[in-house]
Structure 1
Amino acid sequence: MKKVMMALIAVVALPTLAACNTIEGMGKDVKAGGQAVEETAKEVKEEITK
């Protein structure tokens, strides 16, 4: 659960910290954040199903 919260915080903070100047750059930041959430969700799922 802690990993999920950290991933969500990263998704929210990433665009702000990156300070992207273009819509394209923001899209890349959001995509990277989404990938982090997806990876964390997979890890949590694996831990639960063990």
Structure 2
Amino acid sequence: MKTRLVLILIATSLLVMAGTGCNTAHGFGKDVSNTGDAIQRNTP
């Protein structure tokens, strides 16, 4: 019983971390895109 509870907690933690990782990658992509846009606007 105790082992099963630990496995469920580990699986839940991994799913939560995977979800936040995707959000972080998405935010990073937006930052890179915004930086590229700013460089293009300032290039003569």
Bucket of the pairwise TM-score, normalised by the shorter protein: 0.5 to 0.7
Number of residue equivalences: 30
State the TM-score, normalizing by the size of structure 1. Answer: 0.57
Q: Which has the higher helix share?
A: 2
Instruction: Kindly indicate whether structure 1 or structure 2 has the higher relative contact order, using CA contacts under 8 Å at least 6 residues apart.
Output: 1
Structure with greater Cα Rg: 2
Q: Give the gaps of 5 or more residues in structure 1.
A: 1-20
State the TM-score, normalizing by the size of structure 2. Answer: 0.64
Q: How does 1:1-50 map to 2 (within 5 A)?
A: 22-50=12-40
Identity %: 3
RMSD of aligned alpha carbons: 1.3
Q: Give the gaps of 5 or more residues in structure 2.
A: 1-10
